[in-house]
């Protein structure tokens, strides 16, 4: 064995060993037993027989099993572009571009949007995919304290007049479940001429009368430069779309590497996305059911639950071993709740991340709250 290979293996082994010693080693689990209180399938679409019916009945745009290449080669279709237009209209946007995943969308957008003289200001709890896109960006970047309007304005003052400023937030944060103060942030962006980018991953299908997202619900669509809506959470399928102006769409087609250099989604995936939007449009009442289930969980008064009115409800249990032990107790009682450990969240901020769904019965939710109270 060469010295280079041996050295590389030693590094990998040492890093994995450290993870095991810290109690932060990740492994895949096939078991899906227990009542689902951990998935992002907020509306039950991923396991919906009705969605499968709609997909089966939806005519495929062609007879190919795959797309055949990137969309700049032979992977584009009239169906893909019509779907982008339909989704844009649903969310009240001028244009949109579909990416293969939310990660790809954020990576592509944030890696290419800023020039060297530009600045990206981002909430420190922003998703890892946005942070990774920022790392690839040519612009400079600074974080501001989570949902802290005063700190954001300080950052805006410091970089004002030095190129284009982009402000990146999530409408609903994936780990804490709290909402961004979008009205206040949009007002600051207007004042300082900054462009607001909002990741709507955990608001898509959940916030708004029809699930259009929090930006639309608050009447801020004209205030936002770009929105990212993902299909792999409440919509129960896969992929994502970046919404904005026609110019932004053209820019991404020309410069977003995660769009340019990847095989396009196959026709089956596009059909699933179209069917999920159809299901959302015909089943608006499910959002009200989800809201009622969230209130039921909140009204139980479980100790230590973080402030959130979204499906994401968290209880801080510091320490990887401590939070794993708590999750095991719940799992053994038939509740599929997963621990969120460091380094996914900062050390000391480990938590049980509980996701409430429209399909969780009242009895299941009350059983869970009783178990949590006994921890």
227 and 198 Cβ atoms separated by less than 8 Å = yes
170 flagged as catalytic = yes
127 flagged as catalytic = yes
Q: Which of 41, 84, 123, 170 is catalytic?
A: 170
199 flagged as catalytic = yes
Q: Which of 91, 216, 229, 233 is catalytic?
A: 233
Short-list 178, 257, 193, 260, CA closest to 225: 193
**Statement: residue 5 has pLDDT above 70:** no
Model confidence band, residue 2 (pLDDT cutoffs 50, 70, 90): low
Say which residues have a Cβ less than 8 Å from residue 263's Cβ, sequence separation at least 6.
66, 67, 69, 70, 75
DSSP letter at 194?
P
**Statement: residue 58 has pLDDT above 90:** no
Q: Which of 174, 258, 308, 320 is catalytic?
A: 174
How many alpha carbons fall within 13 Å on the CB side of residue 15?
Answer: 7
**Statement: residue 329 has pLDDT above 70:** yes
Among the four given CATH numbers 3.40.50.880, 2.120.10.30, 3.30.70.3270, 3.90.1150.10, the one describing domain 32-48+284-373:
3.90.1150.10
Model confidence band, residue 1 (pLDDT cutoffs 50, 70, 90): low
172 and 179 Cβ atoms separated by less than 8 Å = yes
Q: Which of 202, 207, 216, 229 is catalytic?
A: 202
What are the boundaries of each domain within the chain? 32-48+284-373, 62-282
40 flagged as catalytic = yes
* Per-residue pLDDT, 349: 93
* Per-residue pLDDT, 4: 63
For 273-320, how does the pLDDT look when each residue is reduced to its tens digit (9 = 90+)?
A: 999 999 999 988 999 999 999 999 999 888 888 989 999 999 999 999
In 263-359, the DSSP E strands lie at 312-316, 335-336, 338-340, 351-355
Instruction: Please report, rounded to a whole number, the percentage of residues in the chain having pLDDT higher than 90.
Output: 85
- Here the tokens at position 340 are 């969120």
The topology (CATH level 3) of 62-282 is 3.40.640
Q: Are 32-48+284-373 and 62-282 equal in CATH topology?
A: no
For 146-205, how does the pLDDT look when each residue is reduced to its tens digit (9 = 90+)?
A: 999 999 999 999 999 889 999 999 999 999 999 999 999 999 999 999 999 999 999 999
Q: What is the pTM of this model?
A: 0.94
Q: Which of 77, 104, 127, 207 is catalytic?
A: 127
Q: Which of 199, 200, 212, 223 is catalytic?
A: 199
Q: How many DSSP H helices and E strands does the chain contain?
A: 14, 12
Torsion, CA 232, CA 238, CA 239, CA 240, rounded to 10: -30
Across 51-64, average pLDDT: 82
């Amino acid at each position: 064995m060469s010295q280079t290979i041996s050295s590389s293996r030693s590094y990998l082994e040492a890093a994995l060993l450290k993870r095991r010693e810290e109690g932060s080693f990740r492994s895949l689990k096939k078991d899906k037993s227990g009542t689902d209180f951990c998935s992002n399938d907020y509306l039950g679409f991923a396991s919906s027989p009705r969605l499968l019916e709609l997909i089966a009945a939806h005519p495929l745009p062609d007879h190919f099993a795959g797309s055949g290449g990137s969309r700049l080669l032979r992977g584009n279709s009239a169906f893909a572009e019509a779907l982008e237009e339909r989704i844009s209209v649903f969310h009240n946007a001028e244009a949109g571009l579909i990416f293969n995943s939310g990660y790809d969308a954020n990576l592509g957008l944030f890696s290419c949007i800023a020039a060297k003289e530009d600045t990206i200001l981002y909430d420190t709890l922003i998703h890892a995919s946005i942070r990774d896109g920022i790392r690839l960006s040519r612009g400079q970047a600074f974080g501001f304290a989570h949902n802290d309007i005063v700190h954001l304005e300080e950052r805006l003052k410091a970089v004002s007049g030095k190129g284009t400023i982009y402000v990146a937030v999530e409408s609903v944060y994936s780990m804490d479940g709290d909402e961004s103060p979008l009205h206040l942030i949009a007002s600051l962006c207007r004042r300082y001429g900054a462009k607001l980018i909002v990741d709507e991953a955990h608001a898509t299908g959940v916030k708004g009368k029809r699930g259009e997202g929090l930006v639309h619900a608050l009447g801020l669509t004209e205030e936002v430069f770009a929105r990212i809506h993902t299909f792999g959470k409440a919509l129960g399928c896969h992929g994502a779309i970046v919404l904005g102006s026609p110019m932004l769409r053209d820019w991404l087609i020309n410069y977003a590497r995660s769009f340019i250099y990847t095989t396009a989604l196959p026709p089956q995936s596009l059909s699933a996305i179209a069917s999920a939007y159809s299901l959302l449009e015909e089943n608006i009442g499910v959002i009200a059911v989800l809201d009622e289930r969230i209130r039921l969980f909140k009204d139980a008064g479980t100790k230590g639950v973080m402030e959130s009115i979204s499906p994401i409800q968290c209880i801080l249990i510091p320490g990887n071993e401590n939070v794993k032990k708590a999750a095991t107790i719940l799992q053994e009682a038939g509740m599929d709740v997963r621990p969120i450990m460091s380094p996914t969240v900062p050390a000391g901020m480990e938590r049980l991340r509980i996701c409430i769904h429209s399909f969780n019965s009242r009895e299941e939710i009350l059983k869970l709250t009783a178990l949590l109270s006994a921890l």
